[in-house]
Structure 1
């Protein structure tokens, strides 16, 4: 093809326009990742995470999209050893969630390290498998002399604090990039993209029945979630978790992905009507009984996953025992320290904790 001078000029103009848009995009995106660098002593970081944790109002908190606490004792011990040896520690990433008007800091990256610090300073971690400080193997924080405890408390870790410009979508993307080098599909997105016919039909029906945006969709009314979570198939994830835990929570073994995957594979197409009817009953009961549905407060625009699980599955189990369960319930226990402890942001997916929070709701509804 012969390129004329006119084409060259036209193409040049087009490139200039593209470069201008490119530069504008960079400036706009840099606003989202605007940040400040802070440095805090270990004791202050632990205090920010643990103070008011019982009421789920701690200044530093773990968001829904974060993974569970998965570090082994060996990994935790090596991190503590690194601090003791003054080895370089990666920055923590947090975000000012000013949109919630509470001044709190959401942990974007670093929850494993922060929870390790908490475990160690609460004496829940016994050091092991240390290669350099071998003499510290078997010790807990309380075993250190007072002078060493104070020095450890004063050790500082740097923290990058994203400003309020970083919305939830930006925070999720930063988390994914830091942890995988790029945005990974979450578990439900992977399932939806699966070509396995044993899994797809069940999920497809969930989407068709409960994921529409009609005004009469009770699930969306009772359990609102943010647009970002919705765009990543969160409703479908919540539904699958509801069915899997309701029907098989006693066989949960800490690996959430495998547990949900195995359940999805096991569902027979003929079972869907019964599952559908049970969920409809639960939604109607929650709508009639709980003043804010699955939400914590009337003004909330999103629902924590762990709270939905506890209330939805606990209600289903109670209705199985007592189908005519009264909707005239005293629901003050929703604000109790015990329930908040079961469903706060650091509550893990260990089998005992999953069982405890589900059965707590079940037993409260049954008057036990």
Structure 2
């Protein structure tokens, strides 16, 4: 989702050029330095298109958006045909409602006022649908991270004053003038969604759970030894996949065996489980700073062991340019658990390669149903069994 800053910057640049004008300008710019004449032509073209874009900024309460959006097509506010097939699932809807309830900033929405006074939702239909689903259609919140106590709640379960506060929250909307043509509106929608990026889980945890363990995970993810053993695509790297791997390692390792059982609170969806673990780990490190050094040492001891013991490390084959999460989790956590049992453990790498074949390891570490609890436990256990030969 776009920040307010990006939205304003978007309007102040040439982002609203029509596709034809944009293509011509791209062609002119390839390998040719603009002349003074071309600069004047470009400025004139921008001015022409900019004059076509007229808008007002309004701010309405949630209740009004919902009251005017009883369905996607026929009410005062409606979803245009070019985006009707897009839909959030209940988890995405729930997390948006959670954002509203706790007061997180909500990005602008974009409407276009048609000639008959109705509002076409250029950008924001998913948010509108989420609000309607919760306030009018009985949506029960699920998979919440920041306030998991609200999981299972419908609007009827909230206190009346909380419902009133929710309905009175205002969201700003940019309303495009009736003169804005359909192609420009569709292009706006496409560009907003190309520009917008959704924060991944590693980014969310880094931003919402500051602390010593979070900082340690970032450092470990960037360590040259770990980088060398975890080849990833450029996209995965930019999405902080290595931070995700390190966080999962500690979450599954340190909650593998607890007074409350194995992986307490795990519900076949690791997001909340990992979030809760990191929150607790940061709190524990605040009370006992020595934990950080101990965790780092255990991490590097595991890395060194994997490098010596597994011929391909975390990779599936010698030419792999990525490391699947399920494979990493099994090998990393299983190795660390084996080392906790036998700190001086050494196993010949060729023996392990043979045991991996015997155990059909490649068929165990597959992504299909990977987050099912039994499969998570199974792939970790098979590595421990291979290493200690039990």
Higher relative contact order (CA 8 A, sep 6+): 1
Q: Which has the larger radius of gyration?
A: 2
